[in-house]
Amino acid sequence: MTALVIRPLIAGEEAAFGDTYTAMAAAGEYRPEWTWVALRDGVVVARAAWWAGPKDDKPLALDSPPRPAARSTPKGRPERPSPRASSAAAARSPAVTAG
């Protein structure tokens, strides 16, 4: 098994987490430097974000950001965005690794 990579989200990666996260980030409630992702083999396996009000200078609560909405496939099964596609940019940045 490869090492787990844990790092903060980089500004511009917010869209990979869906419309709700993007809207809350735009409102200043989630901030990239307070949002963390864990990746294994370039795939997001966990994520967490500290939440705060738009005028707060420190985070107030640990939150689990909402997942992107599922889409319907032609066979009627829900389809989630590919973890590899949504985390491709995430995997290219500096990180903290854990064994």
pTM, rounded to two decimals: 0.60
- Cβ(53)–Cβ(64) under 8 Å? no
Is the separation of the CB atoms in 89 and 13 below 8 Å?
yes
Residue that has been written with the tokens 């992702």 in this structure: 37
pLDDT in tens, the chain (99 residues): 789 999 998 877 877 788 888 888 899 999 988 999 888 998 888 888 899 999 999 999 998 766 665 544 445 544 444 444 444 444 444 444 444
Residue 22 to residue 59: CA distance in whole angstroms = 17
Identify the domain containing residue 44 by its residue range.
4-68+77-98
pLDDT of residue 88: 45
Q: Per the structure, how many domains does the chain have?
A: 1
Instruction: Find out whether 13 and 36 touch, Cβ atoms under 8 Å.
Output: no
pLDDT of residue 65: 66
